[in-house]
Amino acid sequence: MNFIKNSWKGLLLCLIIAVPSWFLGKAFPIIGGAVIAILAGMVVTLFIKDKSGFEPGIKFTSKKILQWAVILLGFGLNLGVILQTGKQSLPIIVCTIATSLVIAFILHKALKIPSRISTLVGVGSSICGGSAVAATAPVIDADDEEVAQAISVIFFYNVLAAILFPILGKMIGFDTTAGDAFGIFAGTAVNDTSSVTAAASTWDSMWNLGSATLDKAVTVKLTRTLAIIPITLVLALWRGHKEKSSDGKKVSFKQIFPFFILYFIAASIITTVAIHFGVSGSVFEPIKTLSKFFIVWAMAAIGLNTDIVKLVKTGGKPLALGACCWVGITGVSLLLQHILGIW
């Protein structure tokens, strides 16, 4: 009862921002509800003089609701289909993820970018945008402003990719009679699902391929999502090794172990087993939709806790980092597809 009494105002405020942001995201998928919710939260917080009554609910939404969103995301993963597709795309996925993380680490050192922001941008760029940021943020104890900055950078390059990649695909000679080559490219080089969908759908429309490119791209993208598991576990181990708690002792791995990732794995296994025994994948669609809404809801809270002026002032280096990760991932994806004879 105390939790409800203390938190309902903040939960409701975040929800009021999230609902219209969700529908606007549906209307403008290239932007997406998550980015709209962050921006709306940043604007709304400018007009709230005293947020003390909202703080408990905002904090709960930005932390716990975000973790629940990742858990529910697991219900969209049929591991059988993903592993089958992964045979073709796995080398590209592994190399693009490694490229982004290496670039993020090097530029973190060279440009003196805060480690948490560089980690979030590197992981978000290489795996699956907002979902990867959502999974990584609690593991590395990133604050809301760092999450907002990473999401904003990733969003910017998502939009560019959705617009430019179909043009790039035509220029460099991707196969226009089938969707596999461009689908793998979009699935490995674009990080957020909405932008993967936009780029792949554009390619299908350009060459009258139905949904061939889209189906391939989304499956490859979901395969990348599985990388959330080892990445978060490694980051938890690294943080446990490096950081110290307030009493001067090292933070134990048990303290920061991302238990919600275990539930994410369990959800994926439940989905896979159910589909294997004949349950339609459509049964899980409402849960997947709820996951996406929870991300929007959490992003509203993150926007409410973000200083937009500070975000703009400190945005230059993270944008440069995002650009380097984006170019690196794109180049490695194209190079490996060429080496593997996909195009």
Q: What is the pLDDT of residues 44-99, one digit of tens each?
A: 999 998 888 999 999 999 889 988 988 898 887 888 877 776 677 889 999 999 99
* pLDDT (0 to 100) of residue 249: 60
- Output DSSP code: residue 192: S
This prediction's pTM: 0.81
Structure-token pair, residue 162: 């959705």
Q: Is the pLDDT of residue 114 over 70?
A: yes
Give the three-state DSSP class for 289: helix
Residue 244, pLDDT above cutoff 60: no
Predicted confidence (pLDDT) per residue in 308-317, tens digit? 877 777 778 9
Q: How far apart are CA 250 and CA 187, in angstroms?
A: 39
Nearest in space to 82 (alpha carbons), one of 249, 219, 276 = 219
Q: Are 69 and 291 in contact (CB under 8 A)?
A: yes
**Are the CB atoms for 203 and 209 separated by under 8 Å?**
yes
- Give the closest residue to 188 by CA, choosing from 178, 177, 199, 175: 199
pLDDT above 70 (res 265): yes
